[in-house]
Structure 1
């Protein structure tokens, strides 16, 4: 709290005094720091979302690769089975 006292002397010799009290404001006005914090939070959310999407895409790609590999193993087993059947059919003639 700041006080300002002013004394005024009139030409006739009378003295008038006036006191003004200024109160300091706390917590108001922040100077834009609230906007800075909000901006940092938004950027952090965007970066986190990007990495989350990348992880999801990575898992999807991995799952698709496993599925293709399983299909290839199944096709190869079928080919081996057909070759074995042809080999036994050819020996019996």
Structure 2
């Protein structure tokens, strides 16, 4: 950054001062950061949905296994009842 100060003097003796401030041009860094944040959100959502899908699958498998255990217990109970009769 370079600042320049220009002073001009009129023939009647008055002076005028002009200051020029040279700044770096702004770059589109905000767009890059926004894009990175968006990609991070999409990746997080993907893994979250994968976790939820696995949780539902696991719950379904446990429910099915419990049902099979219940059915087997019912069969054992029926066999015991027939053995007593």
- TM bin (shorter chain): 0.7 to 0.9
Deviation digits for residues 22-64 of structure 1, max 9, x if unmatched? 20336x62x1111000000000000001111111111111111
The answer on 1:54 being equivalent to 2:50 is yes
Could you state the TM-score of these two structures normalised by the residue count of structure 2? 0.73
Q: Which has the larger radius of gyration?
A: 1
Flag as ranges the 4+ runs of structure 1 deviating above 6 A: none
Identify the residue that residue 15 of structure 1 maps to in structure 2: none
Query: How far apart are residue 4 of structure 1 and its match?
Result: 7.4
Unaligned runs of 5+ in 2: 7-16
The answer on 1:82 being equivalent to 2:78 is yes
Could you state the TM-score of these two structures normalised by the residue count of structure 1? 0.67
Paired residues, number: 75
**Over aligned residue pairs, what C-alpha RMSD do you find?**
2.4
The answer on 1:3 being equivalent to 2:1 is no
Unaligned runs of 5+ in 1: 6-18
